[in-house]
Amino acid sequence: MRFFILDERQVWHGPAIQAARRRGYLARRIFAGEESRGPGIGFIRPHADPGRLPQNRLDFQVMAERLTMIQDAAQVEVYENKSEQVRRWGSWMPETWRFTDSAKALAFAATVSLPIVSKADVGASSRNVWVFTDRVKLMEHVRTLFGPGIEVNHCSGGARSRQRGFVLLQRFIPHQVTWRVNAIGRARAIFKRYCYPDKPVAQTGNVEPVMALDAETESLLAYADAFFEAAGTRWCAIDILRDGDDWKLLETSLAWPWPSPGECNRAPLLRSEQGRVWGEVWDAMFDEIEAGAW
């Protein structure tokens, strides 16, 4: 079996290749625009740099012609594109509004209930996310987006671009915990991040592992499973908030924080037949492949 990994972010290929070679795979890293020969397994970690991401989407298409890809095409297409995520999966999210007309955006901002969240299309770790409790500042923000725009951070090697000509607004859900559920084939890992209860903020990421399921996390997992099935994805991370008795999707991601901080590597991979933990995510991936999850 062959395994090819295109890792534009310089972090994941080493452990992935080591795990593949331990199993006797012929494994190597490839680079943007470089051919991979099938049959075999392909994995791509796209770059967040706006100058390189389009090439990576083309790379995925070429790889998918020859290889069984870990990621699905949809997740690569929506990576670093929150507007497209809303278009595809907005029914799973808090109420979200996207305006490309400044007059309509300003009229909406003048009456919408606060707090409200504004997001750029790009950015991870809650960069380029603004929570407004002051209507004057919200109106100024909208005018700026339809004027000179706002410089945004792509969270990758200092890459930056400018958000301009649209605004993406979303209902703010008060919360103290942001949940993340990761899918690796049929396996799952759950993490949570504690937020600041004294002020509206937004932050996600793998921070504290969920070591055992209870009624709340069982409900969370059922919601996540339903989304993964609806989206047709087997390798994905989703950020979720509790909304009363319901759950709401915030966004999807292909670029999980791995290796993860603190105790995260001890998080159990639920449904893993081998009893894997998060620190063995690459071996778990190959377990799933060999068991037919792909």
Confidence of residue 161 (pLDDT cuts 50, 70, 90): confident
Domain enclosing residue 284, as ranges: 177-290
Count CB atoms within 10 A of the CB of residue 113. 7
The pLDDT tens digits for 13-39 are 999 999 999 999 999 999 887 777 778
CATH code of 135's domain: 3.30.1490.20
Dmax (CA) for the chain in angstroms is 62
Task: Confirm whether 85 is domain-assigned.
Answer: no
Alpha-carbon distance 225 to 186, whole Å? 9
Task: Confirm whether 30 is domain-assigned.
Answer: yes
The DSSP symbol for 266 reads G
Query: How many domains does the chain divide into?
Result: 3
Alpha-carbon distance 106 to 104, whole Å? 6
Residue 115 contacts residue 172 (beta carbons within 8 Å): yes
CATH code of 253's domain: 3.30.470
Shared-domain flag, residues 194 and 286: yes
Shared-domain flag, residues 188 and 262: yes
Which pLDDT score is estimated for 190?
94
Task: Confirm whether 55 is domain-assigned.
Answer: yes
Asked which of 156, 171, 186 is the last residue of a domain, the reply is 171
The pLDDT tens digits for 166-221 are 999 999 999 889 999 999 999 999 998 877 545 444 444 447 889 999 999 999 99
Shared-domain flag, residues 270 and 186: yes
Shared-domain flag, residues 271 and 185: yes
Residue 227 contacts residue 238 (beta carbons within 8 Å): yes
Task: Confirm whether 149 is domain-assigned.
Answer: yes
Task: Confirm whether 77 is domain-assigned.
Answer: no
Task: Confirm whether 86 is domain-assigned.
Answer: no
Residue bearing tokens 């095409």: 73
Element (H, E) at 44: strand 41-45
Task: Confirm whether 208 is domain-assigned.
Answer: yes
214: exposed, middle or buried (Cβ count in 10 Å: 0-12, 13-18, 19+): exposed
Shared-domain flag, residues 209 and 245: yes
Shared-domain flag, residues 60 and 129: no
Model's pTM, two decimal places?
0.91
Element (H, E) at 227: helix 215-231
pLDDT above 80: residue 9: no
Task: Confirm whether 182 is domain-assigned.
Answer: yes
Asked which of 144, 171, 198 is the last residue of a domain, the reply is 171
Rounded to the nearest 5°, which phi and psi values hold at 230?
-65, -35
Alpha-carbon distance 243 to 73, whole Å? 30
Shared-domain flag, residues 213 and 184: yes
